[in-house]
Amino acid sequence: MMFRQDRWTLGIGVVLLALASVWVAQAASAQTGGSVVQWGNAAEWDYLTPNENFTAVATGFSHELGLRVDGSICTWGRDMGYGELDLPKPNKHFVAIAAEHRHNLGLKSNGSIVAWGNNYDGQCDVPEPNSGFVAISAAVFHSLGLKADGSIVAWGGNDYGQCDVPQPNSDFVAIAAGYSHSLGLKDDGSVVAWGSNGVGQCDVPSPNTGFVAIDAGCGFSLALTGGGSIAVWGGQSGVPEPNTGFVAIAAGYSHSLGLKEDGSVVAWGANHWGQCDVPSPNTGFFAIAAGGHNSLGLKGEEPPLPVADFSGNPTSGPAPLTVYFTDLSSGSPTSWDWTFGDGGTSTAQHPSHDYTSDNSYTVSLTAYNAQAQDTETKGDYITVSSGGGTCHVGAVDMASAGPPNYKASATITVHDRNCQALAGVTVDMTWSGAVSGTDSDVTDANGQVTFVSDRDKTGGTYVCTVTGLTKSGYTYQSADNHETSDQITLP
């Protein structure tokens, strides 16, 4: 598993991965992802091509998972007969992955967990309700899931009590599943450990505070401090000096990895398969993963985090009010969850929603990509009133519609009483001057509609005049018009 310190600011929204998995760091400006570098026992296995656009990797004992920036999963390595290389269907909208001995977990953007592979101990039987998860972690015999409310759900083998989450089961922000023990990180920076403690893997060293990341291996535990040092306890030796400047940690079965802020990787512990022999050049890494006898790293340009934003049109009016929402999120999100404040929801990128009752409504959008998720909430964003709405002409903009320059275009912008663009308004207009005639059309989601005149061979002055606005539940207030007509002379 890997966790980067610079993601700590995401709090409970952070999705952590498992004993043999990886969490990717805060991103750069372009969503290109990275390529996989592997060493140790994994070096003999070919990974799927093209080796690009990876945002996370996870590794078990004999197989690997890769999460691409489009939210799909790919697998490679050895299938030991448990279906661990099978791909979940539908293979999309994943935001995190975890792999262990013979089973895998995938976290969907809707907060559900998909599990596949070896299920001898029930480690793939995700408890109901399978929703509201923000983090996943997989070990040999058991699995962990972190809920958005800060509680931990554990399932699978429990021979050592590794699924018995200590009370109070709340305020957790990170999880890590080891071979036969488990760790949870509280929002106050302390670590809680439970399960097997045969070699002291649950004896968290003092002072138990200031930790920002955790991971667990076979009989040992790791924790990253906010100052960039790593604490190790249980059956593994300490971190090679200098124990400073770390931004990520990963615990394998019997070895560990640390990612430095300069992009280099430090490895220690068992090395009989070369799992600690980091390939040259040891630079440019932004993610790491440690498995049974193998290690993985990602190099390249890190994909960006999503930043949710949206607009709605109109934002006020009488019931029934149809609002057209536009996703304005950055960071190349791949899926969206909308809540409209009246119980309505949508997963479309640009949905519309009908409000039928008078009230003020808070709208929320959560945007997801393979990196993370972000939520934008706008309180009392939509106002539905019984008093009826008004509309008026906000602008009339004329332009040439050539070539040849002997016809004109007129773009009409319609506003509501709050001078917000108003969609769904029927605009009636007339042409005069060089041409004559009437026309009618409906404003789009931006509150605009464009008319094009007939062509006149000699040119002249083209005049557009708005003669009426019509929308159910709205009154046309011509006195509020910013302008009613405009003209242009061509050529």
Per residue in 147-188, pLDDT (tens digit) is 988 999 999 999 999 999 999 999 999 999 999 999 999 999
pLDDT value at residue 135:
92
CA 135, CA 111: separation in Å to the nearest integer?
9
| 5-30 mean pLDDT | 31
- pLDDT value at 445 more than 60: yes
- pLDDT value at 319 more than 90: no
Residues 326 and 189 in one domain: no
Residues 263 and 320 in one domain: no
Q: How many other β-carbons are positioned within 10 Å of the β-carbon of residue 55? A: 31
Residues 334 and 480 in one domain: no
Per residue in 19-66, pLDDT (tens digit) is 333 333 333 323 467 899 999 986 556 666 788 889 899 998 888 999
pLDDT value at residue 10:
30
**Residue 463 is part of a domain; what is its CATH number?**
2.60.40.2030
Instruction: Tell me which DSSP letter residue 49 carries.
Output: S
Of the residues 385, 419, 452, the one at which a domain ends: 385
Residues 465 and 434 in one domain: yes
Provide the H-helix boundaries in 113-248. Answer: none
Residues 250 and 104 in one domain: yes
- pLDDT value at 364 more than 50: yes
Give the sheet arrangement for strand 294-301, strand by strand: 73-77, 63-68, 54-59, 33-40, 294-301, 285-290
pLDDT value at residue 490:
87
- pLDDT value at 136 more than 60: yes
Per residue in 92-107, pLDDT (tens digit) is 989 899 998 889 999 9
Q: Identify the band that residue 358 occupies on the pLDDT scale cut at 50, 70 and 90.
A: confident
**Contact, 67 vs 96, CB < 8 A?**
yes
Per residue in 375-420, pLDDT (tens digit) is 999 999 998 876 667 899 999 999 988 776 688 999 999 998 888 8
Residues 451 and 435 in one domain: yes
pLDDT value at residue 47:
62
pLDDT value at residue 1:
43
pLDDT value at residue 164:
98
Q: Which of 3-17, 274-288, 310-324, 474-488 has the lowest mean pLDDT?
A: 3-17
H/E element holding 412? strand 408-416
**Residue 348 is part of a domain; what is its CATH number?**
2.60.40.10
CA 178, CA 162: separation in Å to the nearest integer?
9
- pLDDT value at 18 more than 90: no
Amino acid at 448: Q
Q: What percent of the chain has pLDDT over 70?
A: 90
pLDDT value at residue 44:
54
Residues 211 and 143 in one domain: yes
pLDDT value at residue 28:
30
How would you class 374 by CB atoms within 10 Å of its CB: exposed for 0-12, middle for 13-18, buried for 19 or more?
buried
Q: How many other β-carbons are positioned within 10 Å of the β-carbon of residue 58? A: 33
Of the residues 337, 364, 385, the one at which a domain ends: 385
Of the residues 301, 320, 343, the one at which a domain ends: 301
Partners of residue 475 on adjacent β-strands: 390
Domain extent for 147: 3-301
pLDDT value at residue 30:
35
pLDDT value at residue 405:
63
Greater confidence, 28 or 472?
472
**Contact, 27 vs 371, CB < 8 A?**
yes
Residues 294 and 344 in one domain: no
Greater confidence, 175 or 69?
175
Give the sheet arrangement for strand 246-251, strand by strand: 3-4, 246-251, 255-260, 265-269
Residues 361 and 297 in one domain: no
Residues 65 and 33 in one domain: yes
- pLDDT value at 231 more than 80: yes
Residues 11 and 53 in one domain: yes
- Does the pTM exceed 0.85? no
Q: How far is CA 222 from the centre of its chain?
A: 27
User: Mean of the per-residue pLDDT values for the chain?
Assistant: 88
CA 357, CA 384: separation in Å to the nearest integer?
7
Q: How many domains does the chain have?
A: 3
pLDDT value at residue 80:
85
**Contact, 103 vs 21, CB < 8 A?**
no
Residues 132 and 263 in one domain: yes
